[in-house]
Structure formats: structure tokens, C-alpha cells
Structure 1
Amino acid sequence: MHSLNIQYNPRLDQLRWLAATLVFLFHFHLEYRGLGAGGLSSPWAALIIEGHTGVGLFFTLSGFLFMQIALHQRQIVYRDFLRNRILRIVPLYLLVFLVATSIGRDKFQPQDLLYLFVSNLGLAPTSGSVITGAAWTISLEFLFYMVFPFLARFAMERGMRYLAGWLVLLLFFKAAAYTVNTNSTLMYFSTFVGRFDQFLIGMMAAMFYARRAGALQRWAPLLVLAAGVLVVVDTALMHRVASFLSVPRSPFWILWSMIESGGWALFILGWVAFRPRLPGGVERLMNHGGKISFSFYLLHMGLLHLLAQGVGLVRPSGIPWLDAVIMVGASYAITWVLATLSYNVIEEPFLRMRRNYGAARSPAPVAQL
């Protein structure tokens, strides 16, 4: 459903679709290998092997979109902003949390309800099962929502140098945290220390786009190509030097989230500025994928695990690579249908309750908090 606070841009939905698809391929690859099948190993296939980079795209895209809205509205009414965010994420997130507590009912403690607010830390019920494991990102998203109007206000008052100052501080905390954490890779992957800079980089990209939209549109095709190559190279480097799945502690991860987000920010700039239309069917498909991306993201792990346990390996052709393509295509299509149902039943009714949270009628160029 389109935002009430800024003109709809299908390019952003297409990027959401890309992010959700990368995460899907990452988890499909894990399940596929878990069934005993051969998997990918080349660093140049890292966009699938390390497809968790789609999460970095999600975070960067969130910062970009909300900063675009802030620049458009010039003011944000804090209460209405949070109301919209709650309507956007809580219904489906709460359902997933209830499923998680049902799965872990024998170990449940009343204080586990507090994990609603910190699903990325400790022994959260959602992290106890692969079925609901993707929900760890929601707490970080909501933390960003809580502080974003303040950050947007200060960034509009002081410029990008304000956000750059935050990046320097976060780099310090990353380096300091590395010295005392024995599982630094997971820390950088799933906590404030490792992810908050990606929101900030997205915000900076939006401010840059507002100033240089014309030039970016002229160079968009080249920028998309260059940024795409950069993302592939970045991810290949991470897979070769410090893979998330095999290196629990590496100083490489101190810089990884900024490297990852920088590549995605350039790709976002190029794709948003890219003017030629895609073929109609392809564009409608990608736009719909972006619309249902939240349900797709939260539900895909459960469906993949269900298929892995209930169906297992399927070898209709006897050709390993073709069988893998058939399996990924079928599971992707089923997830698509399930996510569309979830969007229509759970998300859309609440999304219709949102309202404009800007205060554009006032000329003051700061956020109203």
C-alpha cells in the first residue's frame, strides 16, 4: 500500500523485492545443503551464499525512504509517525511472536514478553526456532523509528556532516566492542552497534539524492552497473575473508556494515534515478513483490523449513543444477502466494488505518517532535 506522506515510487518497492529475494535465496541455500545436496562455494556466488546482505539493503533502504519523506514533509509529528510505524509492523510481528512462544511453551517465562522489544538479543523466543528466526530485525527497525524524527530534524538543521559525525562515533564503538566480544561477527550482524550505521548511510544517500537528482538521473545506468559490480565484489570479499557462517570473530566485520551499506546506497541512488521503464509484466511483478516483502521476509523461513522436512530433495530431472532451479522456483512461488495471503489478511487492514504524519502546512524546516 502506498505511503500517505510522499509520492509513490515503484523503484523503492522493486528494491524491497530484491532485498527479500536475496534473503530467501540465502535461507534456501542453507536448507538445500542441510538436506545433503551440493551447494555453491565460489565467492562470486556470494550474493546467494551470503544473501543475508539483503538485510543490509533493507536497513539502508529504510533510512533512505524515511529521510526522503522528512525532506518532503519538512516536519514530522512524532506521535503520528510512531502510530503509523506500529500499524505497519506490529500486527504481523506480534503474530510471529505468538507463534514463537507457542513453539517454546515448555520453556516460556513471563519475562520473555520483554523480548517483544529486543528480539535481536539473548534467548528471544523468536530466535529459538528457524520458523520465526527472521524476526530478529524488527527490534532494530523499531529502535530506528523511535529516534529517526530527531535524527532527521538535526540532519536538516546541520547537514550531512551531522550524520557523518554519528558514523565516526559508531566506528569507535565497533572497534572498542571488538576487543571484548568473543563472537563479534554475530554482534555486528544483529545489534545496534553493527547495524545502526546502515540506517544513517541510507539517510545520507537520500540527502545526496535531493541535492544531485539531475546529475544522478543522467548517470543512472552507469551508476546501477558500477554499484551492482561493487556489491558483488564486496560480498565476495566478505565470503572469502570472513564469512558470517564460518568466522565467529574477525576485525573485518568492524568495517563490514559500512562497506555493505555503502555499496547498497550507491545502488539505491542509481536505481531510484533510473528513468527507463521495465517491461510491464516484470515491473508489476517486482512492485507486488515489494508490497508483500514484509510478509515474505517474516514467513519464508518457516515455509522453507516445512518443505525441507515434509518434501525433502526433489530430483525430477536427475540433473543437480536443474533440480535445484526447480526446487527454488517452486518454493519461491509458494512463498509468494503465502505472503500475498498474509498481506491481504493481516497487513492491509491495518495499513488502511495510517494517516499523514507530516506537518507540511508549517514553513519551519525542522521536525516537530
Structure 2
Amino acid sequence: MNSSNLPYNPRLDQLRWLAATIVFLFHFYLEYRGQGGVQITNDWLGLISEGHTGVALFFTLSGFLFMQIAQYQQQIDYREFLRNRCLRILPLFLTIFAVALSIGRDKFTPQDLLYLFATNLGLAPTSYTPITGAAWSISVEFWFYLVFPFLARFTLQYGARYLLKLLALMLFFKVASYTVNEKSTLMYFSTMVGRFDQFLVGMLAAVLYQRHSGWIQRYVGWLLPLAALLVVADSALQSHVAKFEPYTHRPFWIVWSLLESIGWSTLIMAWVAYKRPLPNWLDRTLGQGGRISFSFYLLHMGVLHVWMQYVGLPAITTNHWINTSVALIATYAVTWLLSTLCYSAVEQPFLALRRSYGTRNVAV
């Protein structure tokens, strides 16, 4: 996505597409299971059965991208930064929130409006229905936006060791929280205690990439497949040791988000360093997927839910896997088309209002 704050890098849009697609496959799998589909038992397919890891890629990528902007601009205007982030996420987020309030009108109480800042907590109106359920992560992301300009300033001033100190503190908070929360899995999954380190790891990756980009580009030929293997192994490990079951209490989840984001940050650095051009048609397609990824992410659960309610797994042939593939391709295509419409009608007009929030080569 083009920005006035950093030269455009198509690799980042391609990673956004990847994150949205992984989350889509995860929720398709859950809906498929609800239709009586076969359960995945192979841990090496964890990118699908534990495909919520796509959210971790979104969070890690946010930390990486914004730290790259901070390194490029050297100075971030706090007010302009928040203005841009509000223009980026609020139009569509408020649309989804309004839909959630409408669906739950009979349960509405005035204090529900405060969930605008915390759709990841408690009984948020967006959590009552799968159609708006994906909105939980937007509140987590926005809390990161509130503190990022300060984190960027201190990182530019003190270097990577500042981020390492914060990661150490986060690890302590995770351990301490585990001792007092009997349903810690959901806490780690959807709160800042469980997710803030993923933003920090993304920022740290941006610092490392700036310092060692030459080395990374030199060895990207083996680093890229190694990073992809690490991501797959992380999901396989989670599938084997501690599947996502919201109301459980497993110590693996203390380190889960850190391991997950280390894998994704390695892939981010390797993919950004990979300079071989993709075929034009693929580059354009994945770029478009990245541009509409926010709409895609917030709308895909609604598409899947409606499809499974009214169509399900169509009995086009006698082969179960062909029928499943047809449903997968059809729902992905419908989500893509609807997201393109939503991006054009809701997101794009507001994105045009964004301004630069930094001054190049001015000390923080």
C-alpha cells in the first residue's frame, strides 16, 4: 500500500495478503468441521488447523513496518501519526462495530459503546456473532498505535537493547499472569499481555534488517526457505503441544507468541530482502490482495458463515474433496470481490486524506 511516509515496498503488501489468506483458511476449516468435515490430525498442517497464526503475522508486520518508517523519517509527529491510523482503521472498524450493535440491539446497554476501545475483552458486542468476531484484533492493534511513537523514539535513541528490555519485562508479565488466570489461553490469545511482544519483535526485526540488510540479501537464497520452514515448524509445534482451545491453562502459551513472532519476523526480513521479481500477473494479484487485506480480514467470517448457512459443502460430485475445494474457491472469490468493493467504498476515500507524519533526517 502506498504511503507518504516510506517508499512503497510491494513485498509488504504480499505479506499482508499471506496473513489474511492464512486466517481465511483457518476459519474455513472451522466452518468445514462444523459441516461434519474431516479433522486435520497432521501437525505439519498446523498453518491451517492453527491458522490464527496469520494474526501474529499482521501484528509482527505492523511492528516491522512502523519501525521502518521511524528509521526512514527519524521523527514522528504523534498527532499526525494517530490521525493517519484513525483514517486507516476507523471507517471500516466503525462500520463493523455498528453492524455488531445492530445485530445485538436487544442486548444493547449504553456502556457497550466503550467496547470501541476494547473489542478484545469481556462481552464485546462484536464477539456475539462470527460475522463481526474478527474485530477483536483491531483494538489490540490500536493500543499499540497509542504507544508506538514513544517506543520508536526510545529505540532510535537507545538501540535494540531497549526493545530487548521490554521483551524481558513482557516475559515476566506473562509468567505472573499465568499464575492468577485459570483460563490463560484466551488471555494470551487476545490481550496486550499475550500480543504486545509480537509488535516488539517486529520492531526489533526492522532494526536488525537495517543493520544487516546486506548480509541478509547475500544469503537470502537459503534464509528464505529456512524462514518458511521455521514458520511451518512453529505451527506444527503448537498443534502438537497446545492447540488453541480458549478455556485451557497450558504453560506453553507463555512463550507461544514469542516463538510465533520470531518465525514470522524471520520470514518478513527474508521476503523483504528477496529481490527476484515475481511474474507481473502474480505481483499485481498479491499486491491487490495486500491492499484489500483489511477489508478481507474483517469481512471473511461473514462470507463463510452465510455460505455455510445457505450452501454448505455443495454436492456437485461424489468426491468429498472436490466439493470442499469448490466451496473453498467460491468463498475465497466472493470474499475477494466483496473486499474489493468495501475497500473502494469505505477505505480508499479516507486513505486519500492521510498526510506525512515525519520529517526526514530530523533528530528525534
Q: Classify the TM-score, shorter chain.
A: over 0.9
Quick one: distance in 2 between partners of 1:267 and 1:294?
Answer: 21
Q: CA deviation at 1:351?
A: 0.2
Q: CA deviation at 1:246?
A: 7.0
**Contact between 1:67 and 1:207, CA under 8 Å: does it hold in 2?**
yes
Deviations 1:66-110 (A, max 9, x none): 000000000001110000000000000000000000000000000
- Unaligned 5+ residue runs, structure 1? none
**Contact between 2:185 and 2:245, CA under 8 Å: does it hold in 1?**
no
Using the TM superposition, name which of 207-216 and 343-352 deviates more. Answer: 207-216
**TM-score, scaled to structure 1:** 0.97
What's the counterpart of residue 104 of structure 1? Answer: 104
What's the counterpart of residue 344 of structure 1? Answer: 344
What's the counterpart of residue 297 of structure 1? Answer: 297
1:274 aligned onto 2:283: no
Deviations 1:256-306 (A, max 9, x none): 000000000000000000010111111111110000000000000011000
What's the counterpart of residue 141 of structure 1? Answer: 141
User: 1:8 aligns to what SS in structure 2?
Assistant: coil
Q: CA deviation at 1:327?
A: 1.1
1:192 aligned onto 2:192: yes
What's the counterpart of residue 78 of structure 1? Answer: 78
Percent same amino acid at aligned positions?
A: 61
Quick one: distance in 2 between partners of 1:152 and 1:326?
Answer: 46
Quick one: distance in 2 between partners of 1:125 and 1:220?
Answer: 45
Number of equivalenced pairs:
364
**Contact between 1:32 and 1:39, CA under 8 Å: does it hold in 2?**
no
Shift >6 Å, 4+ stretches: none
Deviations 1:123-158 (A, max 9, x none): 000011100000000111111101000000000000
Counterpart mapping for 1:1-369 below 5 A: 1-245=1-245, 248-360=248-360, 363-364=362-363, 366=364
User: 2:171 aligns to what SS in structure 1?
Assistant: helix
**Contact between 1:197 and 1:258, CA under 8 Å: does it hold in 2?**
yes
Quick one: distance in 2 between partners of 1:238 and 1:126?
Answer: 27
Quick one: distance in 1 between partners of 2:222 and 2:327?
Answer: 34
Deviations 1:37-60 (A, max 9, x none): 223221111100100000000000
The one-letter amino acid of 2:54's match is G
Quick one: distance in 1 between partners of 2:151 and 2:105?
Answer: 39
In structure 2, relative to structure 1, the CA distance for the partners of 1:127 and 1:247 (3 Å cut) is: closer
Quick one: distance in 1 between partners of 2:32 and 2:247?
Answer: 21
The one-letter amino acid of 1:176's match is A
Quick one: distance in 2 between partners of 1:320 and 1:219?
Answer: 43
**TM-score, scaled to structure 2:** 0.99
Deviations 1:324-355 (A, max 9, x none): 22211111001000000000000000000000
Q: CA deviation at 1:247?
A: 6.8
Q: CA deviation at 1:218?
A: 1.1
Quick one: distance in 2 between partners of 1:323 and 1:293?
Answer: 26
Quick one: distance in 1 between partners of 2:274 and 2:48?
Answer: 25
The one-letter amino acid of 1:145's match is Y
User: 2:219 aligns to what SS in structure 1?
Assistant: helix
The one-letter amino acid of 1:3's match is S
Quick one: distance in 2 between partners of 1:72 and 1:348?
Answer: 25
The one-letter amino acid of 1:218's match is R
Quick one: distance in 2 between partners of 1:312 and 1:59?
Answer: 32
Deviations 1:139-195 (A, max 9, x none): 111111010000000000000000000000000000000011111111000000000
**Contact between 1:20 and 1:296, CA under 8 Å: does it hold in 2?**
yes
User: 1:314 aligns to what SS in structure 2?
Assistant: coil
Quick one: distance in 2 between partners of 1:141 and 1:363?
Answer: 27
